[in-house]
Structure 1
Amino acid sequence: MAHNEFKTAVVLGGTGWVGRSLCAALSERGTRVVAVARGRTEGLACDRFVSLDLATTPAATTAALLGEESADLVVNATDAANATDGWDRTEAELVRANVSLVEQVLHAVRAQPRPVRLVHIGTMHEYSPVEFGTPIDESMPCAPESAYARTKLAGSQAVLDAARAGAVDGVVLRSVNVCGPHPSPASLPGKLVALLAEGAVRLPIADAHRDWLDVRDLAGAVVAAGQRPGVTGVVNIGSGRAVPLRDFVHTFVREAGFPPSVVHNTATEVHSYGGSWLQADIRKAAEVLDWKPRWTLRESLKDMWAAR
């Protein structure tokens, strides 16, 4: 399969958990990286940082930026639920961050006189909940139950519609939950790091199974997708393995060097964005992106604690 060696990548949401790892992965391969976000974060690997509130920035401003930077790869790594100021959002805020922003990005990409590859990071929660033990492939129906997942689906669908119409060269990567270095403080991994740093983990642990992927593996999948112009549609990105959340928490505690007794489950019932089971079928990613995960869960969680 032909590869496109892009020269300049613009990472939208470049200071977020995924964006930060992606900027590092792109920089390591010699790509010129332009990170776009509201505020810069310490240790960000990029050649240029641009401060923009993408949820309110006009498409013309974003289009001008892409043109000035001669971008040939644009990655939308923005996500309302990964914002540094928390996960609680009204539906209007979710629409602005997960739908309107994507539409603005599509307008900006379409306005470019040169070919631009667009990689949009969606979520596996866009699919309908499935029965326990069912791997989720790209043919599964999408009827998410939460407002967050519904708005993420609407943003992904806008990219898919534009690609299907030939308006953009875009692909949607539907990612599982991520773990690994520098988690968002609002995420479960981020909360685990903060709690364990205080000496104990007291939190509600849902009776659920989740597929966890190292954030650096997700960054690798984005790079692979960026190198393959013409690959469109949806590609699931995950580890291909569902892990009970209790096991996830206990594995993290063990890899951080603490005894299991520091974990105290306060749960009776826990609300989450997805159902009680999530496991990605990642065969398509191997086929069309030549990608597979590299980091084991234990390695990822050990590195997550070490990077605190």
Structure 2
Amino acid sequence: MRVLLLGPGGYLGRYVAEHLIADPSVQLTALGRGDDADVRFDLSTGSPGALTRFLNAVHPGVVINCAGATRGDARELTRQNTVAVATICESLRRSGCGARLVQVGCAAEYGPSHPGTSTSESAVPRPGGPYGVSKLAATELVLGSGLDAIVLRVFSPAGPGTPTASPLGRLADAVRRAMQSGENEVRLSGLGVRRDFVDVRDVARAVHAASLSAAQGVVNIGSGRAVRLRDAAAVLARVAGFDGTLHETDAPPVRIPLPGGGEPPAGPAAGLPAAPAVAPAAGPPSAYPYPDGCGAWQQADVRTARDRLGWRPRIGLEESLADIWMEAACRV
């Protein structure tokens, strides 16, 4: 199977490329803006005609789009996430290759969810920021293209390579800096939010499964569990061997028990083993910032991925956090 991967240098794209290369039945060609691509091409500025000529030359059976931007102003996000997908769809329509399109979307397309609920693919999207809007527009372009296409709405990816700007990457970097400087306190905000974390290597498996499947439409990719960032922070601190204080800047500070002391269990929704947890703050809830536009709660309904792709997550959050910490600890 000949596969064209768009965006091989991104956080998700790197792991999708590694997973596909490990499959001897896959002939992989990577197209992107970086030096890691076989062919240099900017989807946000390149013409559909140029991409069509390339598709006709390579004649892939599957096109996987992992390209895009997560940060920037509305104009930049629209260029990278929406205009680029319009170029892909138009090029595939013009081309005679008949390739299947696997578009990697995101949970930000849904926007905030009601606490305690799982978001299914039938939920009405209400993105809470320009990133989610740009990705939702891309999804609508794909679904309305008439192509053989599937959109994977990936919830919160975690694991090795997690960007330091992401919530878990920010946690790991803060703990690393504290330990390197000998400080016994880490100051953090927004730990009350709950997100559905899914390991990036499991996401790569889902992309591969989608490329082989006949399923179309939107499919959620997540763990099916909403984990409070506070609980993830406690597990990361234990993995790192940090026995200081995690101080919530929008809640009273809470002491992590020293090794040998009591270890209260993590919440059942987290699905995590016992860890030195950061207890929820007393009193009324704080107003947390939600830069991803997803509000205080997101949890995926992943039954469609199980039923239509035969996919289930395999890697637990503690393993993802351990790998995040290993990379952070080596950072100078």
Common topology (TM > 0.5): yes
Match of 1:91 in 2: 74
Alignment of 1:267-282 (within 5 A): 267=250, 269-273=288-292, 274-282=294-302
Match of 1:245 in 2: 229
SS at match of 1:36: strand
Q: What letter corresponds to residue 15 of structure 1 in structure 2?
A: G
CA shift digits 1:104-126 (9 cap, x unpaired) = 01012222212201000111121
Verify: 1:32 aligned to 2:27, yes or no.
Answer: yes
CA RMSD of aligned residues (A): 1.8
CA shift digits 1:115-155 (9 cap, x unpaired) = 20100011112124221101111111112221111111111
206 and 118 in structure 1: CA distance in 2 versus 1, 3 angstrom threshold: same
Alignment of 1:2-81 (within 5 A): 7-30=1-24, 31-40=26-35, 49-81=38-70
Match of 1:234 in 2: 218
Question: 1:203, 1:302 → 2: CA distance?
Answer: 19
8 and 193 in structure 1: CA distance in 2 versus 1, 3 angstrom threshold: farther
SS at match of 1:53: coil
SS at match of 1:102: helix
Match of 1:111 in 2: 94
TM-superposed deviation, 1:58: 1.1
TM-score (norm 1): 0.86
TM-superposed deviation, 1:90: 1.4
Higher mean alpha-carbon deviation, 62-71 vs 234-243, is at: 62-71
Question: 1:292, 1:214 → 2: CA distance?
Answer: 11
4+ residue runs of structure 1 moved beyond 4 angstroms? none
The answer to whether the Cα contact below 8 Å between 1:210 and 1:278 also exists between their aligned partners in 2 is yes
Higher mean alpha-carbon deviation, 7-16 vs 62-71, is at: 62-71
Q: What letter corresponds to residue 270 of structure 1 in structure 2?
A: P
Q: What letter corresponds to residue 21 of structure 1 in structure 2?
A: Y
Match of 1:84 in 2: none
Q: Which runs of 5+ in 2 are unaligned?
A: 180-185, 251-285
32 and 202 in structure 1: CA distance in 2 versus 1, 3 angstrom threshold: farther
Question: 1:306, 1:24 → 2: CA distance?
Answer: 20
Question: 2:163, 2:17 → 1: CA distance?
Answer: 16
% same residue: 35
The answer to whether the Cα contact below 8 Å between 2:111 and 2:132 also exists between their aligned partners in 1 is no
Question: 2:191, 2:170 → 1: CA distance?
Answer: 14
Selected match of 2:156 from 156, 165, 177: 177
Q: Which runs of 5+ in 1 are unaligned?
A: 1-6, 42-47, 82-86
TM-superposed deviation, 1:253: 2.5
Selected match of 1:258 from 237, 241, 244: 241
Question: 1:9, 1:193 → 2: CA distance?
Answer: 35
TM-superposed deviation, 1:307: 4.2
Instruction: Count residues in correspondence.
Output: 284
The answer to whether the Cα contact below 8 Å between 1:173 and 1:237 also exists between their aligned partners in 2 is yes
Q: What letter corresponds to residue 219 of structure 2 in structure 1?
A: V
The answer to whether the Cα contact below 8 Å between 2:191 and 2:248 also exists between their aligned partners in 1 is no
TM-score (norm 2): 0.80
Structure number with bigger Rg: 2
Q: What letter corresponds to residue 282 of structure 1 in structure 2?
A: V
Verify: 1:188 aligned to 2:150, yes or no.
Answer: no
The answer to whether the Cα contact below 8 Å between 1:35 and 1:50 also exists between their aligned partners in 2 is yes
Selected match of 2:208 from 199, 216, 223: 223
